[in-house]
Structure 1
């Protein structure tokens, strides 16, 4: 019969301390990004793979897409989701296409979407929605309750 007490021991065997610490550091280290920015992702991954006929009637795009706050936010979201989901070797990229790329690109390319005033050759500044402030007290600052 073997002595199994070592399986439950908390003391590492000599020489295992450094190796275990290195493995733990590796496991905690976030994976490196493939792309350094949302713009790099757009140019090198998204637009080369997401090919559509942008005719101005059924789909719109702005050559200066970065002047549109909604487009910036959506492209950033697409990039960050892609960087995360690419690590799932099973269904990650499928989930990214279905839940992220198809959704956001349909909104961005929609003729009534953020580029509705633009075309492939000319950018026109977007009109922002103009809200009216709600009456005082309708939306209390919840940060004040966190103390």
Structure 2
């Protein structure tokens, strides 16, 4: 309660009630792995023949795959709340794109086959000469 400055203080006004904060939406899935097993793979069905499409049963050993599945999960959780076009946008802009990359025979699972996971060869680029890529966090 606060006093009205235009009066002698004998009248008080209620402070305006704060708008209730909108509760954050609950996640449907608790992890990228749960999303992969419960939503993504049951709905994204493809023939994986190692020639036109590949998948590694131990996908979690591939950092790129983990990052892409995580991105797919997070985007799905966000876009599912858009009842109009959210799922269409998710399929077009996220699922189709990332799954095409993941399942590409030259993609992150290129070295794996039906017999199992094989660690991919990692790129080991040389460092650029000092000063070529200054740390922008240190610039004013």
TM-score range, shorter chain: 0.7 to 0.9
Per the TM alignment, residue 121 of structure 1 is displaced from its structure 2 partner at its CA by 3.5
Superposition pairs for residues 28-39 of structure 1, below 5 Å?
Answer: 29-39=23-33
Q: 2:111 aligns with which of 114, 117, 136?
A: 117
Cα 1:24–1:58 shift into 2, 3 Å: same
Corresponding position: 1:128 with 2:103:
no
Do the aligned residues in 2 keep the contact of 1:108 with 1:115 (CA within 8 Å)?
yes
For 1:127 and 1:70, locate their aligned partners in 2 and report how far apart those are by CA, in whole Å: 13
Poorly superposed stretches of 4+, deviation over 2 Å: none
Which residue number corresponds to residue 24 of structure 1? Answer: 20
For 1:87 and 1:61, locate their aligned partners in 2 and report how far apart those are by CA, in whole Å: 29
Superposition pairs for residues 63-142 of structure 1, below 5 Å?
Answer: 63-142=57-136
Q: More helix by proportion, 1 or 2?
A: 1
Superposition pairs for residues 20-59 of structure 1, below 5 Å?
Answer: 21=18, 24-25=20-21, 27=22, 29-59=23-53
- Cα deviation digits, residues 27-85 of structure 1 (max 9, x gap): 1x321100000000000000000000001110000000000000000000000000000
How many residues align? The count is 128
Q: What is the TM-score when the length of structure 2 is the normalising length?
A: 0.86
RMSD across aligned positions (CA): 1.6
Q: What is the TM-score when the length of structure 1 is the normalising length?
A: 0.82
Cα 1:114–1:24 shift into 2, 3 Å: same
Unaligned runs of 5+ in 2: 1-12
For 2:125 and 2:101, locate their aligned partners in 1 and report how far apart those are by CA, in whole Å: 22
